[in-house]
Structure 1
Amino acid sequence: MEFADKQYFLLLLLLIPYVLWYFLYRKRDEPTLRMGDTYAYENAPKSWRVRLVNAPMLLRCVVFTLIVFILARPQTHNSWGHKQVEGIDIMLAMDVSTSMLAEDLKPNRIEAAKDVAAEFISGRPNDNIGLTIFAGEAFTQCPMTTDHASLLNLLQSVRTDIAARGLIQDGTALGMGLANAVSRLKDSKAKSKVVILLTDGSNNMGDISPLTAAQIAKSLGIRVYTIGVGTNKVAPYPVQVAGTVQYVNMPVEIDTKTLSDISAITDGNFYRATNNRQLKQIYHDIDQLEKTKMNVKKYSRYYEAYQPFAIAAVFFLLLEILLRNTVLRRLP
């Protein structure tokens, strides 16, 4: 247990003058009775009331001490911890353009990709993993972290309607998505640094070409595994028509050559996933990546722990009042 405001313990010094006043000066004000001889009382046994005559004063001191402890804010002793684990640094770069709503994978491409990515993340608890999403633009959804609970929450919140609602431009900026993921890995000290780039289209947006981003990744020692997701030829795509959903056959245009070139430049691999089973197998294959040692800093929350002190203070205060006004009451 730790105390957040230790300076309040200085208030305990006030007990010293109080105790001195009680034993040295307060008794002077108490009523007295003159007697000619006290011989008869010298060997008389002391009653329990006499022995407890100073109990109220001691209880007041205890109550004051407990109040000071409460003011000092006692907290449970949780702190930063360091440990060394096996892992690699991974950035997931996921296409969230509106074409990812196609339902050639079940229930659709984006949900299938999220489900398999979530399983991949859960199977690598010691890895530093982050998430980049891109359509016509790219941004970091989650920086690299070992807090996979937060990462999975952010992954599940990924939606394709951010492009449909105009929050970002629609399209496929492969180069921007890869460059964003690479920028998160450039300062990594891990021996193995990996980007897993998943898309269902070809580059048609962005200021950075995919091959330029691949060259940057290669210069930083980052391997890129590219995944082209979607069936061959055409895929069913949902369209809202008069409040109902109708399906049209949308042509599948995956730039397999560019994706293959990206992986070749960075010593990675290119994969095609035309169904959920293949997509799951691809992530399983990538899961066999080399591991390297890394330091992890883990944070534990602090919890206020004043309640036991408050309960004890109330109990001793009520006990002092009860004793002072009943069995230890002084007359006059």
Structure 2
Amino acid sequence: MRFRNPEFFLFLLFWIPMIFVYVRRERKFRPAVRFSDLSMIKKMPVSFFVRARHILLVLRLAGTGLLVVALARPQEGRTDEEVSTEGVDIMLVLDISESMRALDFKPANRLAVAKETIKEFIHKRQHDRIGMVVFGARSFTKCPLTLDYSVLDQFIDGITFTSFSYQTAIGTAIATAANRLKDSPAKSKVMILLTDGANNAGEIPPVSAARAAHELGIKIYTIGVGKEGQVPMPVQMKNPFTGEVVEQVQMVQSDLDVSTLEEIATLTNGKFFRARNEESLKSVYDMIDKLEKTEIKTKIYTSYEERFYPWLWAGFFVLLLELLLQNSRFRRIP
């Protein structure tokens, strides 16, 4: 609440002469009716109305105070906020090939850690449309661009290894994600590609797909996950005598194609990141989050409504009450 004309509060200074005149009059007042002997009257108890006679002054001050507040025009404001955003459209491209089963991101495998890290990244974004593409020997859209992050979380939770996880088609995955972004009206179109291997499937070379994405105005951040050299990989082995299938951990060679990922990022004005463990993977997504910020413009409008009527009516009522009491219960006999 605000007061449109606060200068009217200066009228409250008139309370000073009002109080001064009242006190002076009370001290000079002498009763007009004289008695020869006041001893009997002095023994009588003082009535409540005699003690409460000063309430007239209180009512007068309160009434005039309420009228002054009404003159100051109290107003109640309502604020409307208009937010305009220039969000970023982001396609998350995730490798679900068999090599993502590697356990160098202990205690979970690479895919499980990547899924949780991606979810954390999504929760930090606001006003951005985000989609998901997964790929192995072929790629498909797991979730189109959406602002409903809770639905996207559910899709990510459902990501697992499939029957086409035996190979890695990076070029096809880039083309699939670019197809989702090509008609986007967003000012910034971004692709975040996470993989731990080399392109060994699909008919589209990764570099050719990156050049096409660049022509569409898409920036690609590439993330190479996993340690170099030998990494632990769970492998299912079948006992030839009992037929029982058991899981064993064997050391296999990591085949990450760093040079291709760097070239993809360079061609599209993106950046290549290397993540060798869970902590470094989280820091990579944090850096990307800082690099791709959404522009938010806020306009605030405030409209005010008059609220002086209750004060005005209350002031009139209090002054009317003071006038009625002055000429009835608290009337003085001359």
RMSD between aligned residues: 1.8
- Counterparts of 1:282 and 1:226, CA distance in 2: 10
Give the structure-2-normalised TM-score: 0.60
- Counterparts of 2:177 and 2:278, CA distance in 1: 24
Pick aligned residue for 1:197 from 193, 196, 214: 193
* 1:253 Cα deviation after fit: 0.6
- Counterparts of 2:98 and 2:129, CA distance in 1: 29
Match of 2:148? 147
Higher strand share: 2
User: Quick check: 1:125–1:148 contact (8 Å CA) kept in 2?
Assistant: no
The one-letter amino acid paired with 1:257 is S
- Counterparts of 2:93 and 2:289, CA distance in 1: 16
Pick aligned residue for 1:282 from 266, 281, 284: 284
* 1:292 Cα deviation after fit: 4.6
Give the structure-1-normalised TM-score: 0.61
* 1:243 Cα deviation after fit: 3.2
User: Quick check: 1:86–1:291 contact (8 Å CA) kept in 2?
Assistant: no
The one-letter amino acid paired with 1:143 is P
Match of 1:27? none
* 1:289 Cα deviation after fit: 2.7
Residue aligned with 2:140, SS: strand
* 1:169 Cα deviation after fit: 5.7
Residue aligned with 1:144, SS: strand
Structure with greater Cα Rg: 2
Q: Deviations along 1:96-123, whole A, 9 cap, x unmatched? A: 0111010001311000100100000011
- Counterparts of 1:117 and 1:138, CA distance in 2: 18
Q: Within 5 Å, which residues of 2 pair with 1:312-327?
A: none
The one-letter amino acid paired with 2:100 is M
Runs of 4+ residues deviating >2 angstroms: 82-87, 241-244, 289-294
- Counterparts of 1:169 and 1:284, CA distance in 2: 28
* 1:192 Cα deviation after fit: 0.9
Match of 1:256? 258
User: Quick check: 2:96–2:165 contact (8 Å CA) kept in 1?
Assistant: no
For this pair of structures, how many residues does the alignment match?
A: 209
Q: Within 5 Å, which residues of 2 pair with 1:94-173?
A: 94-106=94-106, 107-160=108-161, 162=162, 166=163, 168=164, 170-173=166-169
User: Quick check: 2:189–2:217 contact (8 Å CA) kept in 1?
Assistant: yes
Residue aligned with 1:288, SS: helix
- Counterparts of 2:294 and 2:184, CA distance in 1: 12
- Counterparts of 1:124 and 1:292, CA distance in 2: 8
User: Quick check: 1:232–1:252 contact (8 Å CA) kept in 2?
Assistant: yes
The one-letter amino acid paired with 2:287 is D
| 1:238 to 2:240 alignment | no
- Which segments of 5 or more consecutive residues in structure 2 lack a partner in the other structure? 1-81, 238-243, 297-334
Residue aligned with 1:115, SS: helix
User: Quick check: 1:223–1:268 contact (8 Å CA) kept in 2?
Assistant: yes
- Counterparts of 2:139 and 2:267, CA distance in 1: 22
| 1:210 to 2:212 alignment | no
* 1:158 Cα deviation after fit: 0.2
